Amino acid sequence: MNNFVFYSPTEFVFGKNTEVQVGALARKYGAQKVMIVYGGGSVVRSGLLDRVKQYLQEAGVAYCEMGGVQPNPIDGKVYEGIQLCRREQVDMMLPVGGGSVIDTAKAIAAGALYDGDFWDFFIGRAKVEKALKVAVVLTIPAAGSEGSGNTVITKTETLQKLGLCAPEHLRPVFSIMNPELTYTLPAYQTACGIADMMAHIMERYFTNTPDVEISDRLCEGTLTAIIKEAYRVKQQPDNYAARANIMWCGTVAHNGTCGVGREEDWASHALEHEISAIYNVAHGAGLAVIFPAWMAFMAEHNPAKIAQFAHRVFDIPKSEDLEEMALAGTARLKHFFRYMGLPVSFKELGIEHPDIDRMLVSLRRNKGELLGNYVKLTMTDCREIYRLAL
């Protein structure tokens, strides 16, 4: 196990009707004026946005708002939010929604206190030294952004989809998590969220770091819990227990717990980011296509951890042929994704003829010549993984 520092100061307020506490919590963390950020209107139609405003008013916390954040959030909304934030003298961001809304709010939080272009943080030109506080009312379990210091934004001019990790400044101070708010999520959106949180765990799980049994077991236990509850929520969308378990799994998947003391990979996310940046598909759906292809490649090149995953998560019998075990586990994962209604190939994703050359050019620009850690992937390797996803 490697040396590590783990610091996760977020206060999670979990359970039924917890959104009623948003005003009191905002006051507790010193907010004078918050900026509510939300997406395409579901929080409006459900009445949640109005309730949040009411609770803020009752607590004496002023607010402004910005809606219209789209999936695969873009830089334009961040620039808009930064201007509004400065004009309104906001001191806390309050995204109400899922990962796209939270990531947009985090980018605004960093950019509002920076003299240059917020995109400097994403391309490594500058480091986040300070940011506005961020708090969350979560409605979509998927990205884990409610418990992480990460944000992902797409620059529309160049179609670069890049991530930023600044946990000391961008972890939410509190996150309100009411599983009841997820009852009305469409089945496909629920499934995409499940694929996303599973991918967050697997990016950490597939490592060459030795002697990480505790985090191995945390990863495996969380994955098996997600799979079990996914079957249940597909059959009973308003099952509170299933929704609650899935919501908390999404947080555990990405708050850092599963990755302590181990080298992480993140090649599959980088490969997928090129797909969703260019073709604007759901991130979770893209991961459901890429991750099995990446695993199939690894079955030939470094099968040990894939075989362990196959045995411990999908009960594939142990065998001396690790490649065979790894491929069997990969097939089980694809079967699960298909059962949940997710695509597992470019064609099923709606991309008949993906421009692999274009994706590789962008991947090289964004990540350099080598990708990932479980196996250092060359651009030739990445081409093969895209080909396996066809």
pLDDT in tens, 131-140: 999 999 999 9
Cα 299 from Cα 237, distance rounded (Å): 35
Same domain for 277 and 306?
A: yes
Supply the CATH number for residue 299's domain: 1.20.1090.10
**Residue 198 pLDDT more than 90?**
yes
- For residue 218, give its domain range: 185-387
Query: Are 171 and 285 within one domain?
Result: no
CA 170 to CA 150: how far, in whole Å? 7
Do 258 and 153 share a structural domain?
no
179-185 mean pLDDT = 95
Contact (CB, 8 A) for 109 and 140: no
Mean pLDDT taken over the chain = 97
Model pLDDT, residue 74: 96
Share of the chain above pLDDT 90, in %: 99
The CATH number covering residue 78 comes to 3.40.50.1970
Domain assignment present for 355: yes
Q: What proportion of the chain, given as a percentage, has pLDDT over 70?
A: 100
Model confidence pLDDT, tens digit, residues 265-296 = 999 999 999 999 999 999 999 999 999 999 99
Same domain, 150 and 194: no
Q: What is the mean pLDDT of residues 343-359?
A: 97
- Residue that terminates a domain, selected from 164, 179, 194: 179
* Mean per-residue pLDDT, 352-378: 97
- Indicate the number of domains in the chain: 2
Say yes or no: 53 and 15 in one domain.
yes
Domain boundary among 179, 194, 223: 179
Residue-level pLDDT at 40: 81
In a domain, 2, yes or no: no
- The mean pLDDT of 80-105, rounded to a whole number, is 97
Q: Please tell me whether residues 64 and 33 are part of one structural domain.
A: yes
In a domain, 152, yes or no: yes
Residue 150 belongs to a domain = yes
Which tokens belong to 226? 């997600």
* pTM score above 0.85: yes
Tell me: pLDDT of 41 over 90: no
Q: pLDDT at position 284, please?
A: 97
The answer to whether position 230 is within a domain reads: yes
Residues 201 and 170 sit within 8 Å (Cβ to Cβ): no
- Regarding whether 60 and 158 lie in a shared domain, the answer is yes
Helices (H), the chain: 22-28, 42-45, 48-58, 75-88, 99-111, 119-122, 167-170, 187-205, 213-235, 240-254, 267-279, 283-301, 304-314, 322-339, 356-367, 379-388
Residue 1 lies in a domain: no
CA nearest neighbour of 286 among 295, 277, 299: 277
Distance CA 174, CA 25 (A): 8
| 243 in the same domain as 362 | yes
Domain boundary among 152, 179, 206: 179
The answer on 191 and 94 residing in a single domain is no
The model's pLDDT over 201-240, given as tens digits with 9 standing for 90+, comes to 999 999 999 999 999 999 999 999 999 999 999 999 999 9
Q: Residues 291, 190: one domain?
A: yes
Residue 216 inside a domain? The answer is yes
pLDDT digits (tens, 9 = 90+) for 145-177: 999 999 999 999 999 999 999 999 999 999 999
Note whether 49 and 102 are same-domain residues. yes
Q: Name which of 5-9, 318-322, 350-354 the model is least confident about.
A: 5-9
Measured between alpha carbons, how far is 207 from 55 in angstroms, rounded to an integer? 45
pLDDT band per the 50, 70, 90 thresholds, residue 185: very high
Do residue 160 and residue 220 come from a single domain?
Answer: no
